[in-house]
Amino acid sequence: MRAPIPSHRSIANCYMSVIGKRGIHYLQKLKTANIPPELLEKGQNRVIDASLTLIRERAKLKGELLRALGGVKASTTLLGVPLGHNSSFLQGPAFAPPRIREAIWCGSTNSSTEEGKELNDPRVLTDVGDVPVQEIRDCGVDDDRLMNVISESVKLVMEEDPLRPLVLGGDHSISFPVVRAVSEKLGGPVDILHLDAHPDIYHCFEGNKYSHASSFARIMEGGYARRLLQLRETISVQLIVSKYMTASIVFTQDFEKLGEGVKGVYISIDVDCLDPAFAPGVSHIEPGGLSFRNVLDILHNLQADVVAADVVEFNPQRDTVDGMTAMVAAKLFEQMASQHQNLLERKAAIIMTTVPYANPVPILYVPNNVEYCHAGRSVELGDSCVHGSFLFHKERAFI
């Protein structure tokens, strides 16, 4: 005997209970829901407005506080962007910002930077919270609009002098909307210092133009950056296939000139630039990376005006049980926070190349005021150096 055909009413009740459980993604998936698009868009806009309002008001309050205190030229402002769905492999970076925040304020370590800047001081560090990426996506908002929300959030921070955004990802796709906002707000391109095991300049990766492997393609084609100085690329084939190669890759001799003639420097740090011995909690583990001290040296040597920055690709789902990589990401964040404060005090040494693996190239540049050594001897112009090998300050090399 056939089962009775259910009435329209009972089908509708069934759908509603399923929709109630699974949310609006399920509603969209059905494609049978007879909901006018304008109705959906209006609701989405209200959620987006509410999201931006909280960030705007927090930024405004912090800006007012700092202006009332007086004498603050730049205060690093933490903005979290918990987005992971543009990763090509794992999506754990969506959970990163709260874990990094927790590490920043963890009682196991003190809250001052190597330069003695105290992070508890709002003149050094302020926080405007996270862009509610998952809540916005849950309302069916697509990536074109989501990227705009991220850009708008960054601009809201920049509107409140002296706040300067330091964004916590999230996967690397967030760098595109952040740099776009910074460039549009400042009225011109920036230079980018990009530390990463990967170039992230695929024109489009696996059909996704917003992929975390394509963020710098979007940035360069949009004209938001003049120079892209990438350190520790390991996948040379990407350089060959990328149409952005000649326009975007510059070499060591330009390190000191970074930021000259543009609106400033943007620093983007993918945590996987570090060797997995220092930072195992990343989606794409690439042995042969930098040490934590290498990265600090690079940052110490940068003498440009850092207008904004990001730390991305920390994946808490792959971290050690005691949150080692979260602490590493937190310390990178703290270092960049102090970077805003005292840029011109330091002058030291670092030499680097960005050529493919196992392919020695001549050293292109040696600053003339510092001594270096490599393998126990002095370094001269024309010496060869393989990818990723760093030449250290004499005192440090012999310790």
Task: Quickly tell me which residue has 């270096």 as its tokens.
Answer: 372
Contact between residue 53 and residue 272 where contact means Cβ atoms under 8 Å apart: no
For CA atoms 178, 309, 242, 285, the dihedral sign is negative
Nearest to 252 by CA among 237, 231, 273: 231
- In sequence order, the 6+-apart residues with CB closer than 8 A to the CB of 38 are none
Q: Which stretch binds Mn ion (CB under 5 A): 110-118, 189-197, 213-221, 227-235?
A: 189-197
Strand partners, 308: 266
* Amino acid found at 173: S
Compare residues 196 and 334 and give the one whose CB is closer to Mn ion.
Answer: 196
Q: Considering the rule CB under 5 A, would residue 196 count as an interface residue with Mn ion? A: yes
Shortest distance (Å) from residue 282 CB to Mn ion? 7
Near Mn ion by CB under 5 A, which window of 4-12, 144-152, 192-200, 228-236?
Answer: 192-200
Binding Mn ion (rule: CB under 5 A), the pick from 58, 198, 331, 374 is: 198
CB of 388 to Mn ion, least distance (A): 14
Closest CB to Mn ion among residues 274, 307: 274
Footprint of Mn ion on residues 247-276 (CB under 5 A)? 270, 272
| Residue 133 C-beta: closest distance to Mn ion, Å | 20
Here the tokens at position 164 are 């300067």
Size of the site for Mn ion (CB under 5 A): 5
What mask of x and - would describe binding to Mn ion in positions 374 to 393, judged by CB under 5 A?
Answer: --------------------
Nearer to Mn ion, 111 or 317 (CB): 317
Cβ within 8 Å of residue 240, ≥6 positions away: none
- 161: left (phi > 0), else alpha (psi -120 to 50), else beta? beta
Shortest CB 231 distance to Mn ion, Å? 11
Q: Which is nearer to Mn ion, 77 or 215 (CB)?
A: 215
Instruction: Name 377's Cβ contacts closer than 8 Å, sequence gap at least 6.
Output: none
In the complex, the smallest distance separating the C-beta of residue 189 from Mn ion, rounded to whole angstroms, is 23
Q: How far is the CB of 219 from Mn ion (least distance, A)?
A: 15
Stretch binding Mn ion (CB under 5 A), from 54-62, 193-201, 232-240, 296-304: 193-201
Q: Alpha-carbon torsion 165, 171, 176, 181, what sign?
A: negative
Of residues 73-92, those binding Mn ion (CB under 5 A): none
Tokens of 115: 């330069």
Please, which residues bridge with residue 169 across strands? 81
What are the φ and ψ backbone dihedral angles of 257, each rounded to 5 degrees?
-90, 0
Query: What angle, 0 to 180 degrees and rounded to 10, lies between the N-to-C axes of helices 292-301 and 324-339?
Result: 10
Nearer residue to Mn ion within complex by CB, 119 or 168: 168
Rounded least distance, CB 86 to Mn ion, Å: 13
Q: Per CB under 5 A, does 197 bind Mn ion?
A: yes
CB of 333 to Mn ion, least distance (A): 17
| Sites of contact with Mn ion (CB under 5 A) | 196-198, 270, 272
